[in-house]
Chain A
Amino acid sequence: MTTTDNPILDIRDLTLSFGSLTAVDGVTLRVQEGARHALIGPNGAGKSTLFGVLAGRLRATSGQIFFNGQDVTALSEAERARKGLVRTFQHSSLFLGMSVLDNVRLAVERTISQPKRPWPNPRRDRAVTDAAMTHLESVGLLSRPSSLCGALSHGERRQVEVAMVLACEPRMVLFDEPTAGMSVAETNRFAEIVESLPRKVTVVVVEHDLDIVFRLAERVSVLAAGKLIADGTPEDIRTNDAVQEAYLGTSSNDALFGAAS
């Protein structure tokens, strides 16, 4: 394994409260560079909220986030994205009035071109289009670049989300339930994309589909009621009683992992 000992993401005692509800409660977690990390937990556990805080959409109530050795707690969402920390959204968040290609171009343009140039430049714009098409090809949407995003199926929108984060030249991608609403073939394709990512890209995925979790993840963290209750290899998690309690209120391992094993 090429994973080094160098944590790309270092979360220290991170807390976020919505009024009296503490959605993220003192989470401390390190993610190694190049890791394939899954974050699981029951509905309402605070997984998406944690992603929101990490990406910078939500401001932490307390605690710190270090990305690539730098304290990014005070940085804006855009600044974090420019450092390579990006995420997909649980509820697809696309530019629905624009074409699929334009959605991806917006991501590509920021990384390799000039998104604020007020006139066209055929050569540079061509390069942007080509790069965007490459990303669309890798998620299997090459055939529909000019469709409006609003006209796509739910699964296709998820694929556009994936193409967009890949186009951001990420160092770390937070996938929030990427396969929800995808067909079996689309889900498989997504897993292949993640498997084909170079190891310099770190992946954290929130996923309810445990087949995907155990296929992709080398390490699994479990969140329940805002707290990190377990963290370990997939094998550890499978046999962890606290995890069973949190999910089902029972400690029968088969009920939860029967389908996956």
Chain B
Amino acid sequence: MSATNTLSGLTADKPGTPKLLSRSAPRPMLRLLVAVVILLVLVSLPFFLAPYPLSLAGRALAFGLLVVSVDLLTGVMGMPSLGQVAYFGAGAYTAGLVGMHLSTSGVVQLLIGTLAGAALALLTGAVAVRTAGIVFLMITLAIGELAHIGVGSINAVGASNGLAGIPPVSVLPGGEPLVVPGYLYWWVLAVFVIGFCAAAVLNRSPLGRSMRGVRDGELRLRALGQNTYSVKLIAYTIAGGVAGAAGTAWVAQTQFISPGDLGFDMAAFALLSVVLGGAGSLWGPVIGAGLVIFVRDWLGGYIEGRGTLLLGVVFVIAVYVLPRGVAGIKWRSLRRKSSES
């Protein structure tokens, strides 16, 4: 309890201080600084990393954006979901098909892929968000599995072999294709930053507040006169759009998408990342996503493909050591610092 208190800025909580906006003034500056440093590190990765680790970083970013969309539902709105892979897949396949038949422009693919993810989320969410808790989890699991099986049976998109032969993206229509790994990575990073910022803006908006209201007391929110169904459906649609954007980034990085990329393990890893990183904070789950990809694809490579097993071990340890996820530890140390000063 006391660890979460720091989130609300108790430090400036003196009686007779109605200037409430000043309470959060120092922290945004610090946050901005940290964000800029992290962004600089991410931007400079191509100067340090070889092509393979760099492509891994690109995939981690695309996966990280998928995790952000899962966190919007799980952490912010309090509705754990396994279905975001479906909208991730919608974005990825749409972007791939657009790339093969319409335009190699990443911007065009991003827009259409995001819309595809949002549209599918709107359609399926209309039913899904009527439920809650374990039923919602099961319905979203079914949505993910249906997408996984469905796309694997359509020959036009390569069925279970996946969609191959996707050309490298260019930024703008008719631009140079991004064949240099560093440029490609920067494009994926750009999509990630756009998606993350969209989620951060949403998080600070009235809808974000209403979403937290759904999490903490949906019935109470209704008693205040809010139509919680539309709150949930709008949020679900936006989260679907974010997942779709993540799918376009994934395809841009890998130039390949197959049903295996939207399987149950992907959905479970995304939810795992949210738990590892700290549900509700947006940046924590992104770190969780990086950790998951690192353990599974990098460390896992050294022990002959036992990445998933290793991940299970990491998860069990993490739940004991960091019950609030990565975001949880960070806050605790910040609090210690602020109480010392």
Contacts and interface: CB of A to CB of B under 8 A. Distances in A.
Interface in A130-185: 133, 142-148, 150-151, 164, 168
Contacts of A81: 222-225
B207 interface: yes
Q: Which one of B5, B24, B224, B234 has the highest number of Cβ atoms from chain A below 10 Å of its Cβ?
A: B224
B244 interface: no
Nearest to B208: A118
Contact of A114 (B18, B206, B217, B224): B206
A55 B16 CA distance: 36
Interface stretch (A41-49, A98-106, A204-212, A235-243): A98-106
A145 B234 contact: no
Contacts of A110: 224-226
B216 A97 contact: yes
B168 interface: no
Interface in A99-131: 99, 101-102, 105-107, 109-111, 113-120, 125, 128-129
Interface in B15-29: 15-18, 20, 23-24
A151 B20 contact: no
Contacts, number: 136
Contacts of A38: none
A10 interface: no
B206 to A, nearest CB: 5
Interface stretch (A25-33, A65-73, A86-94, A219-227): A86-94
Contacts of A119: 201-202, 205
A150 B204 CA distance: 21
Contacts of B212: 95, 97-98, 102
B94 interface: no
Interface string B135-148: 00000000000000
Contact of A147 (B13, B16, B18, B207): B13
A166 B217 CA distance: 19
A123 B161 CA distance: 52
A81 to B, nearest CB: 3
B207 A117 contact: yes
A160 to B, nearest CB: 11
Interface residues of A, number: 49
Contact of A113 (B9, B16, B206, B219): B206
A168 B223 CA distance: 10
A76 interface: yes
B8 A106 contact: no
Nearest to B234: A116
Contact of A115 (B1, B7, B14, B206): B206
A148 B14 contact: no
A147 B8 contact: yes
Q: Which one of B10, B223, B231 has the highest number of Cβ atoms from chain A below 10 Å of its Cβ?
A: B223
Contact of B207 (A102, A118, A142, A144): A118
B218 to A, nearest CB: 10
Nearest to A113: B206
Contacts of A115: 206-207, 209-210, 226, 231
A190 to B, nearest CB: 20
B246 to A, nearest CB: 18
A82 interface: yes
Interface in B171-206: 201-202, 204-206
B44 interface: no
Contacts of A164: 224
A120 to B, nearest CB: 5
Q: Which one of A57, A114, A118 has the highest number of Cβ atoms from chain B below 10 Å of its Cβ?
A: A118
A96 interface: yes
A26 B7 CA distance: 49
A146 B234 contact: no
B4 A106 contact: no
Given A78-B223, A128-B206, 20 more contacts: A55-B223, A78-B222, A78-B227, A82-B225, A86-B225, A93-B220, A95-B221, A98-B213, A105-B209, A109-B206, A110-B226, A115-B206, A118-B201, A145-B20, A146-B8, A146-B9, A146-B20, A148-B4, A148-B8, A150-B1
Closest 4 CB pairs of A and B: A81-B225, A95-B216, A143-B15, A118-B207
Interface of A: 55, 57, 76-79, 81-82, 86-87, 89, 93-99, 101-102, 105-107, 109-111, 113-120, 125, 128-129, 133, 142-148, 150-151, 164, 168
Interface of B: 1, 4-5, 7-10, 12-18, 20, 23-24, 201-202, 204-210, 212-213, 215-217, 219-228, 230-231, 234, 238
